[in-house]
Amino acid sequence: MTDSFKNLVQSETPVLIDFWATWCGPCRAMAPVLDALKADLGDRVRIIKIDVDKNTELAVEMKVLGVPTFMVYKKGVQYWSEAGTFTKESLKKVVESIEKQ
């Protein structure tokens, strides 16, 4: 895990990582969902998008087998990881449950 990635996920605030690719239709479909989630939660969540084609070593190290893959960290601990598309409501529930950790 790179130092910059480790630093990103050390936050007291939940950090939602979006492993995505420019050629991935479902990834592009998630962009407005993530925008809506950020609008709802504001500073209660950090959303970081990581392009797997530009960060292949990190994607391999993090065992990203398909895109989009989402992970949620808090204080450097991974609490959740799942591939696929999600509704704003389902992602919000995940983030809110991790907020309480």
CB 57 within 8 A of CB 88: no
Instruction: Tell me which residue has tokens 């398909």.
Output: 66
Quick check: is 24 catalytic?
Answer: yes
Of 8, 24, 47, 83, which is the active-site residue?
24
In this structure, what is the dihedral angle of CA atoms 13, 38, 71, 66, given to the nearest 10 degrees?
A: -160
Q: What is the pLDDT of residue 74?
A: 97
Rounded to whole angstroms, how far apart are CA atoms 24 and 4?
25
- pTM for this prediction: 0.95
Is 86 a residue whose pLDDT tops 80? yes
User: Confidence band (pLDDT; 50, 70, 90) for 48?
Assistant: very high
Give me the catalytic one of 16, 27, 30, 67. 27
53, two tokens: 């084609």
What is the total count of domains within the chain? Answer: 1
13: pLDDT confidence band, cut at 50, 70 and 90? very high
Query: Which domain CATH number covers 65?
Result: 3.40.30.10
Judge whether 35 counts as a catalytic residue: no
Per the structure, the complete domain to which residue 61 belongs is given by 3-99
